[in-house]
Amino acid sequence: MKEYKVVRGPMGFSVEKGKSETAFKGFEDIINREIDGGWSYHSMETIQVEEKQGCLAQPTRTNFYMLIFERDEQDL
Protein backbone atom coordinates (compact mmCIF):
# COMPACT_ATOMS: atom_id res chain seq x y z
CA MET A 1 0.00 0.00 0.00
CA LYS A 2 1.20 3.53 -0.80
CA GLU A 3 1.35 6.63 1.35
CA TYR A 4 1.28 10.10 -0.24
CA LYS A 5 2.64 13.49 0.74
CA VAL A 6 1.75 16.84 -0.84
CA VAL A 7 4.19 19.76 -0.74
CA ARG A 8 3.39 23.22 -2.03
CA GLY A 9 5.70 24.29 -4.82
CA PRO A 10 7.44 27.65 -4.89
CA MET A 11 5.47 30.73 -5.96
CA GLY A 12 6.04 34.23 -7.23
CA PHE A 13 9.18 33.97 -9.32
CA SER A 14 10.66 37.12 -10.77
CA VAL A 15 13.77 36.48 -12.84
CA GLU A 16 15.93 38.41 -15.25
CA LYS A 17 15.53 37.82 -18.98
CA GLY A 18 17.15 34.55 -19.99
CA LYS A 19 17.40 33.30 -16.38
CA SER A 20 14.26 31.12 -16.20
CA GLU A 21 16.37 28.22 -14.89
CA THR A 22 16.32 30.04 -11.54
CA ALA A 23 12.59 29.32 -11.27
CA PHE A 24 13.10 25.62 -12.07
CA LYS A 25 15.74 25.35 -9.34
CA GLY A 26 13.09 25.96 -6.64
CA PHE A 27 11.17 22.87 -7.76
CA GLU A 28 14.37 20.86 -8.10
CA ASP A 29 15.41 21.71 -4.53
CA ILE A 30 12.06 20.56 -3.11
CA ILE A 31 12.09 17.32 -5.11
CA ASN A 32 15.66 16.49 -4.07
CA ARG A 33 14.92 17.26 -0.40
CA GLU A 34 11.92 14.90 -0.37
CA ILE A 35 13.82 12.16 -2.23
CA ASP A 36 16.57 12.42 0.40
CA GLY A 37 13.81 11.90 3.00
CA GLY A 38 12.76 8.59 1.42
CA TRP A 39 9.94 9.83 -0.83
CA SER A 40 9.57 9.22 -4.58
CA TYR A 41 8.30 11.95 -6.86
CA HIS A 42 4.85 11.10 -8.23
CA SER A 43 3.44 14.16 -10.03
CA MET A 44 2.62 17.84 -9.93
CA GLU A 45 -0.91 19.22 -9.84
CA THR A 46 -2.25 22.76 -9.93
CA ILE A 47 -5.10 23.69 -7.63
CA GLN A 48 -7.01 26.97 -7.47
CA VAL A 49 -7.95 28.29 -4.05
CA GLU A 50 -10.60 30.98 -3.70
CA GLU A 51 -10.25 33.00 -0.51
CA LYS A 52 -13.14 35.13 0.70
CA GLN A 53 -11.89 38.56 1.79
CA GLY A 54 -14.95 39.76 3.68
CA CYS A 55 -18.59 40.75 3.26
CA LEU A 56 -18.17 43.29 0.46
CA ALA A 57 -14.88 42.33 -1.16
CA GLN A 58 -14.57 40.00 -4.12
CA PRO A 59 -12.89 36.65 -3.47
CA THR A 60 -9.23 36.32 -4.43
CA ARG A 61 -8.18 33.33 -6.54
CA THR A 62 -4.67 31.92 -6.29
CA ASN A 63 -3.13 28.99 -8.18
CA PHE A 64 -0.85 26.70 -6.21
CA TYR A 65 1.52 24.06 -7.57
CA MET A 66 1.36 20.92 -5.48
CA LEU A 67 4.21 18.39 -5.72
CA ILE A 68 3.02 14.90 -4.88
CA PHE A 69 5.35 12.26 -3.45
CA GLU A 70 4.77 8.62 -2.58
CA ARG A 71 6.39 5.76 -0.71
CA ASP A 72 5.44 2.31 0.47
CA GLU A 73 3.85 2.32 3.91
CA GLN A 74 6.37 -0.29 5.07
CA ASP A 75 9.13 2.37 4.68
CA LEU A 76 7.78 4.26 7.71
User: Going residue by residue through the chain (76 aa), what tens digit of pLDDT does each one get?
Assistant: 999 999 999 887 777 887 778 878 889 999 999 999 999 999 999 999 998 888 888 889 989 999 999 999 875 5
Count of domains in the chain? 1
Across the beta sheet with 60-72, the strand order is 2-8, 60-72, 40-51
Range of the domain at 14: 2-75
